[in-house]
Structure 1
Amino acid sequence: MAVSGVSGSSSTSSSTSSSSTSTIAGNFDQFLLLLTTQLKNQSPLDPMDTNQFTEQLVQFAGVEQQLKTNDTLSSLLSLSAASTATNAVGFIGATITADGATTRLANGAASWKLNASTAGTATVTIKDANGNVVQTMTRSLVAGDQTLNWDGSTSIGSAAPDGQYTVSVDGRSVAGEAITVKTQISGVVDGVDFTSSIPALKIGGISVPIDQVKSVVRGE
């Protein structure tokens, strides 16, 4: 199993927030000192406009409250990220089904799950990791879920090597109109990648964003 890409961004954000809070606190103290000094030395015959000082006090209080809110949100985000990471690691060893068109051919076997909006026929194209077409076939479609199995044979009759292959399905109804055919893949999770904002579950060399997972079956 593999877990990669965990960073220390939360500590950086915390130090930045603390620095901002210290700065605003220092500025607020300086403002209060200046205000007190001016009030002590104002002319009784020409007093200063207290409304302006009151407005500035309100603005400083608003900024201070916003900084506290930001600190709270940062803490919540850190807790959420930690929870997501823990949940993602929990997928290791489980068999998942997820949206996707790329799966692995191993020992002459690969499969995809298809979901057709209506019955019809489909032209299925399978490409290798370099984008080269290795097989084109036609098959009947039923409305709903079904499985597409491939034995690794190519269009010229040879056996394709093990590796990653991507399928595309051009579905047509009996009347010849285009129909929607969704593709899904399945496999056992053997690692988690945290280098992106959304953790990716690893099935061999295939990355599956965790938000694309549709079902999970855990081993005994």
Structure 2
Amino acid sequence: MKYIFALFLLVNSLFAYEFYAKLEPVNSYEIKAAVSGKVIYVNDEIEGKKANNSKIVEIDSYVDRIDLKQSKIKLKAISQMLKIEEKNYNRMLQVSSKSGFEKDSQKLKAINYQTTKADIEVKIANLQDSIKNKLLKEKDRYIYNIAVKEGDYVNPGTLLYEAKDLSKGKLEIFVPIDDIEEIKSKTIFLDGKKSNIKLDKVYKVADSKHISSYKVEIIVPDPKVFSRLVKIEFK
């Protein structure tokens, strides 16, 4: 009986597929500056911790905020002037003694104000976007690395900080192409323990380094420890 059981284990192991992978956060992010400016605030205390609607980095937006305020005042004035010129043009259309040249000139005034108004509206939108992009906050991601300091001047594309999503873990393995269909029907064991986890992604193009294998991703819910080596078996 013992011989039969040992033989069963041996046969079963022959049909098991074994891999090792490091458990990493499901997503990693590099947060880069979208605008240029001087860094006026860095939340050094949050580095290595999980954010909670936390301000991470702030870039100086003082001039932008003044420009935005004045642009809104200018927009209001231009809008009022546009209404006056449009009203004058409509009145002029009712006056038969006015020449076509005079009417066209008045219409041109209204069009110029319309163009100016549109330009100011675009400027306001750009300023609002710039101000928004100068205040970097995180809801609940883990702040892995802050790459700037107060007083630094950054340009678009400058790395500000790195963040990671710790809500799930991800394992990446490379499975021989001929074995892909076989493992899809098997149960996944992690560190020898049976799980209900399924394959999350199977890339249908061979990896550039592992030329005879497909990359496979396995998502692990609510992991407790990251960056550890995990034994993955398909049985």
TM-score range, shorter chain: 0.3 to 0.5
Greater percentage in helix? 2
